[in-house]
Chain A
Amino acid sequence: MKYLKPIGLSLFITGFAIFNFSFFWSSYQLTPTIVKLQIRDSVKASVFLQETTELTKNKTKSNFSFVNQLHAAFERINQTQVQNFSISDAEVERLASYNKEKFTLTSVDSVFNGSDEKNIFKRKAFKNYGSWLDGQPTIKDQLHHVADNIKKFGIVNQFGFDRYAVKDLTYSITKASSVSPVKENPTFFLFLTIGLCVIGALLYILPKWQLPLGIKNNGIFFNTMKNVQWLGILTGSWLIAFYVFLYFYPEYMTNWVIMVDPVSKFLNGGEAGRFFLYGFLYTLCILVMGIRMLINYRHSKYQILRTCSVMFFQTAFAFLIPEIMIRLNQPYFDFKNIWPLDYSFFFNNRLDSLLANGGLGIFMLVWGIALIVIAVPVLVYFFGKRWYCSWVCGCGGLAETLGDPYRQLSSKKLSAWKIERWMIHGVLVFAIVMTAGVLYTYFTNASWVLFFDSYKLREVYGAFIGAGFAGVVGTGFYPLMGNRTWCRFGCPLAAYLGIIQRFKSRFRITTNGGQCISCGNCSTYCEMGIDVRWYAQRGQNIVRSSCVGCGVCSSVCPRGVLNLEVKEEDGRFGKAILIGNNGITLAE
């Protein structure tokens, strides 16, 4: 038994090392077949092939080099096409001279009167982009503006590659061009990396079964991983890097995605994408570290049930069901995800997809709205916010399993609480405004709302909040700022749940009379950074917006002072008076 831990650690380190090494362990060979498969437009494919002869002739050994060359090729193609098809200043001058008083679209036909491809495009493009000028007084600057828009968007979209296409194609071409042992035998490498890590972690965790029942937080603040020392900082840095690559540079991690292709084919019939890899790893982390939680807290039925719940909801609702839906040609849908955490629920592409999928799609739409309007207030009233944040949510699931070793790093300072209240409610407002803009655009087709572009706004939200805050910071900062950084400072759904919990709920953490000895274990181990002791040492119940009801304050309390309870609303907040002192009737 005593050798299991070092063996487990060795296996984990080995698997992790191979995983990281495999990031670089690939050559890249572009072929005409790959280009034709990835770029369906044969004209564009042909142009692309001409620009990438080096990559088709030679193998490229580095993913960074390969990606750089792809980017350079896309850039060259776009530049060439812009040169070929853009409307020159001279042509704008001719348009202006043709329309001395008012602008008419017929003048476009006169200026671009050739029958060659360029002139045909210019005529059509100017009519599309400049139709709003028809009948208006001729203003030269506006003509230039239209020409610029055609240069930026029209030419690139039609003859080149816009930035979305560049992003998608860079990823898919890199993946398809990969030549490596991983590509040849993905199942074997899946075992050699993720498999070894899972086995190693479990071997490391299982000896905890031998410890006596009860909380064992010994040595946490001597531990280099759990106390923001070198190992924790290293881990946090790795997590941050992983999320940055996942969200912003997935083309570099194609070997990792290739590894899980067999699992993806088994589940949904298709090749894996980066978010399949993410979902797979996420679910595995929750399951493996969930087992750690079950062992550590096995004296507590509450913690056992809670942990089993998050493990179930992540595995079934967030991972398996959506993947199986794809196999059944239905929309990818996580039935437990709720707007505004699921911030894209009302985006046009998702609404269109649901509405186009018959009865099931409509059901999903109604279900999603019912969760927001009915389930959240009703369940928070009866059980508190914890029903979601500690029992159902994917972010909460990871926080309560993989994140549990870092719960003590959440700051309990008053200053952190002040920042928290402004920030989390600010994000909620941002989410609401962004969604309102998106819906307005959906129903009116006008992208400009008041003084902002709803497409731009949702893109900003997606990059900074959805990817940057929830992912890079929310998980990457586990070893640096605790396991609930996102839930505490950024999650708009947590803000919504929290407002209801604070003002209209039966949930509270009851303080057991005058028994608090101010030891501070409850505050230290509160993952949401609540200074629980402040309330307990005054005999007051704890009712806070942010409390996710993880129950750990109750678990770590050595004197039986704290208990999560749902009771009648009367007396929920409790008076700040300690039982035991007959001579005192303290003023309110």
Chain B
Amino acid sequence: MKHIVIIGNGISGITAARHIRKQTNHRITVISSETEHFFSRTALMYIYMGQMKFEHTKPYEDWFWKKNKIDLLKDHVQKINTTEKTIQLQSGNHIRYDSLLIAAGSKPNKFGWPGQNLKGVQGLYSYPDLQLMEENTKGITQAVIVGGGLIGIEMAEMLISRKIAVTFLVRENDFWDNVLPKQEASLISRHIRSHHVNLLLATELKEIVGDNSGRVQAIVTNKGEQIPCQFVGLTVGVSPNIDFLKESGIETKRGVLVNEFLETNVPDVFALGDCVERKYELPGRRTVEQVWYTGRMMGEVVAQTIAGQKTKYEPGPWFNSAKFFDIEYQTYGTVGNQLKQNESDFYWEHPIGMKCVHVVWDKITNQFLGINAFGIRLRHECFDRWLREKKSIDFVMNHLVEANFDPEFFERHEGEIVREFKKVGSRQSVV
């Protein structure tokens, strides 16, 4: 029986703990300075919006941990001594481990803007961040959000739910067009504006201006525009949370460096989740993957290794999902924001403009490469299988109706999509 210590009670750490518990009788301790219990970070926005309470975001009732003998420790890790295999905690205690799993997550980025440490300026990643935002947005009327990603748009939705006017600074020419193709990014930009967000594209933050009491009162953009506000949300991405690993001997760059078994350079020390940086390449995937799904997968992988069956991290075809105000997004495979040389694509949009489908395939081999869907639900199982089996674009389009996952009685669009695709296909073949 070993002592498995997990730093971080997010999805990757807890997934590892659950699977280790299921397969072994090792002693398990999970350390977190953020919250006592595991909660779904993806649901933080709903607490602020009054759709849920914090307790609803916990995937497991509080009795679960004791019953499954997973010790939860609320403390902050200050130092790791890999020689002696001990962890030094802020409370002064030391913990000895046999295997250490670092699942320390991320922290919001800041890029050295003047005024970024004023009161009312913050990022949003953790539950304490949410509590701070609750405090910072009391009684305010105007907010500015900086950054054009998923957390930014969620923050916009949060603030608007409390009738706070939102100005959204996006560096790109359309929202998220560093990830999405132009058509989808444009659709989402229009939708954001329809929710009365003042979306400023191709605009960056230059400076944050405070009042005499050290509280934010305005921001200045790179175009010289001054925008009054009482809250600034910095949502320009997140970075691996690895500061506490200095002097530990554990190798880091942007994140904790790991091999395909999620092992670090130090024996019996693994890393998983948001804080990880892979030393090796996986096609179509970034080396730092800060996505709920990959965090969960890594937890499963490490647990197998701890249980005695050394396992590689081998994710299947890429998938992700999101929701932009009222428009749901699902993506399977690879759909870049720009077509590669060997790629062809087809785009369909509903006349109302809240639904679209974008498919990409290899124009040489005709192999289906990826799909984006907005406002239409698709069946993960179908696309996972079709991508693994390298199906052709024609096969995928002809079977698209099988992949619909919308509720009963919802309007189906597959027939129309396929007809449009064949028309475009014919035109292309003529050329």
Contacts and interface: CB of A to CB of B under 8 A. Distances in A.
A581 B384 CA distance: 11
B293 A580 contact: yes
B330 interface: yes
B314 to A, nearest CB: 4
Interface string A503-541: 000000010111101111101100000000110010000
Contacts of A519: 40, 42-43, 46, 57
Contact of B330 (A300, A560, A563): A560
Interface stretch (B89-97, B295-303, B334-342): B295-303
B131 to A, nearest CB: 16
Given A512-B380, A518-B42, A583-B312, A558 B323 contact: yes
Given A519-B42, A579-B381, A512 B409 contact: no
A301 B407 contact: yes
Given A217-B51, A305-B409, A519-B57, A582 B381 contact: no
Contact of A302 (B40, B53, B408): B408
B301 A512 contact: no
Contacts of A72: none
Contacts of A414: 61, 63
A220 interface: yes
Contact of B381 (A305, A513, A581): A513
Given A519-B40, A521-B43, A583-B313, A221 B304 contact: no
A578 interface: yes
A369 to B, nearest CB: 31
Interface in B312-349: 312-317, 319, 321-323, 325-326, 328, 330
A517 B379 contact: no
A216 to B, nearest CB: 9
Contacts of A220: 50-51
A114 interface: no
Contacts of B293: 514-515, 517, 580
B377 A580 contact: no
Contacts of A582: 314-316
Interface residues of A, number: 50
A13 B356 CA distance: 45
B381 A300 contact: no
Given A301-B407, A512-B379, A518-B42, A214 B326 contact: yes
Nearest to A212: B326
Interface string A199-221: 00000000000001110011111
Interface string A383-424: 000000000000000000000000000000110000000000
A301 B411 contact: yes
Nearest to A537: B59
B405 interface: yes
A513 B23 CA distance: 23
B28 interface: no
A90 interface: no
A583 B311 contact: yes
Interface of A is mostly: loop
Q: Of residues B46, B58, B314, B328, which shows the largest number of chain A Cβ atoms within 10 Å of its Cβ?
A: B46
B179 interface: no
B410 interface: yes
A255 interface: no
A302 B408 CA distance: 6
Contacts of A534: 59
A485 interface: no
Nearest to A513: B380
A564 to B, nearest CB: 7
Nearest to A556: B51
Contacts of A443: none
Contacts of A518: 11, 40, 42-43, 59, 292
A559 B316 contact: no
Interface string A537-568: 10000000000000100110011100110000
B370 to A, nearest CB: 15
Nearest to B59: A518
Contacts of B325: 212, 214
Given A221-B50, A559-B328, A564 B296 contact: no
Given A220-B51, A560-B377, A578-B296, A515 B330 contact: yes
Contacts of B275: none
Given A300-B407, A554-B407, A513 B384 contact: yes
A288 to B, nearest CB: 24
Q: Of residues A214, A414, A551, A555, which shows the largest number of chain B Cβ atoms within 10 Å of its Cβ?
A: A214
B61 A213 contact: no
B374 to A, nearest CB: 11
Given A221-B51, A559-B321, A580 B384 contact: yes
A515 B377 CA distance: 11
A554 B377 CA distance: 11
B213 interface: no
Contacts of B381: 512-513, 579
A302 B407 CA distance: 7
Given A300-B410, A513-B319, A518-B42, 6 more contacts: A301-B410, A519-B42, A519-B57, A521-B52, A523-B56, A581-B297
10 contacts: A212-B195, A219-B50, A514-B319, A517-B40, A517-B43, A519-B46, A578-B297, A580-B380, A580-B384, A582-B315
Interface of A: 212-214, 217-223, 299-302, 304-305, 413-414, 510, 512-515, 517-521, 523-524, 533-534, 537, 551, 554-555, 558-560, 563-564, 578-584, 586-587
Q: Which 6 A-B pairs have the closest CB atoms?
A: A513-B380, A214-B326, A301-B409, A560-B377, A519-B43, A583-B314
